[in-house]
Structure formats: structure tokens, C-alpha cells
Amino acid sequence: VSNAGVGMAGPLECQSLAAMQNLMDTNFFGLVRLVKEVLPDMKRRRGGHIVIISSIMGLQGIIFNDIYAASKFAVEGFCESLVVQALRFNVAISLVEPGPVMTEFEEKLYEEAKRADYSRTDPETADIFTNLYLRNSRDVFASLGQTPEDIAEHTLRVIEAARPPFRHQTNAAYTPMAALKHADPSGALVTDAFYKLVFKYDAVLRLSLR
């Protein structure tokens, strides 16, 4: 089971390349190093199961989560490319894709975001992040967030499955978001929906979450 991960949220201009590289080294290359270690023996035994804690953000990017989403997209692409070869050797690969999870991980991320220096971006972007994104994100976590124990139960079901699924989303509230993306290959539908949600109907969003 691969569960190592670090987060990053905020305006792109305010994030250093070194921090981005560190995130990718943990979230993506950490997984790659693990798979390189365990896969050869699983192939020799012709049996095994690799379970990766991914994210709904591996399927859909979210505003101000550019680099974190990129790392999870990389995880998804890596596993999607590898799964067919692995099946030839009777090795299962499963991606567990949570939405928001209420842990110290997120709290630390929010605290760091509140204290961060946004002078390297323009005032409008800084205002959108601090007064729209951070506020709405807290409501989303409070309303839709799962506990770590819930994610552990989902992961256990995937591990114990007779035929392990390749993808398993833990939060049904995010199924429509993923469906929107697949409904329109041009990307226009989901982009328009998110734009309106963030910039036009944010008050309605917060009210509905509460």
C-alpha cells in the first residue's frame, strides 16, 4: 500500500520550483520507487496486489491545486499504463481515490496558506485565493470530508476484494464531477461548471454545504 503524500495549494507564482520538485518526488517518484522494488518479485510469483492512495484530483484538477493535481494525474497515468502489463502476471493494481479527508494534513496546509506571502502574485489572485478558495474549501471539508477511518475501511474492502477494482472512489458526492469531464471530451462543460461554481454561485455553494 502506497500512502505517502504531501500537499500544496495556492497561486502558482507564489510556489517555488524546489517545493514543486519535492512534492513530485514524494507523491509520484516515491510511488515509482516502491513499485520498482515490489513488482519484480510479484511478477516472479505471478501474484500480488499494489494499492495506491490517489485522489479525486487525479481525475479532475481543482483551482489553486495545480501542482498537487499534477502529481496525482501522474500517479493515475503511471498506474493506468502499468495495469495491463501487471495483469499478465496476475498482479492487481488499485487506485483508491478519496475526496477531502479530515486530517492534520489538511489543517497544516490551511495554516501554511494563511501565513504565506502572496506578494509575488497580483492582488486580485491573492484575494480570490484567500477570500474565496480558502473559505469555500473549509466549508467543503466540513460538509463532505471523510474521516481517515472511513478511507481505511474503503481501502480494506479494495484489498479484500476477490477481483480488486482498478479505480475506487470513496466519496459518492464527487461522482458527478468525474462524470461531467467524461460527458464532454472538449472540456468546455466541466470548465464552465467550475467557473460558475467558483465565481458566480459561491454564495449558493456555501449555503448548500452548510
Backbone phi, then psi, for 53, in 5-degree steps?
A: -80, 105
SS3 of 200, please?
Answer: coil
The one catalytic residue in 68, 110, 133, 195 is 68
Catalytic site includes residue 68: yes
pLDDT at residue 207 greater than cutoff 70? no
Residue 67 · residue 109 · CB < 8 Å: no
| pLDDT tens for each residue of 134-172 | 888 877 777 788 899 999 999 999 999 999 999 999 998
Parallel, antiparallel or unpaired: strands 167-169 and 48-53: unpaired
- Single-letter residue type at 198: V
Cα distance from N-terminal residue to C-terminal residue, the chain: 35
Distance CA 26, CA 4 (A): 7
| pLDDT tens for each residue of 93-110 | 999 999 888 887 777 777
Using CB atoms within 10 Å of the CB of residue 107, give its burial: 0 to 12 exposed, 13 to 18 middle, 19+ buried. Answer: exposed
Domains of the chain and CATH, by start: 12-209 (3.40.50.720)
**Stated pTM of the model:** 0.90
CA atoms within 13 A on the CB side of 45: 10
In the chain, % of residues over pLDDT 90: 60
Cβ density class 154-163: b for 16+ within 10 Å, e for less: bbeebeeeee
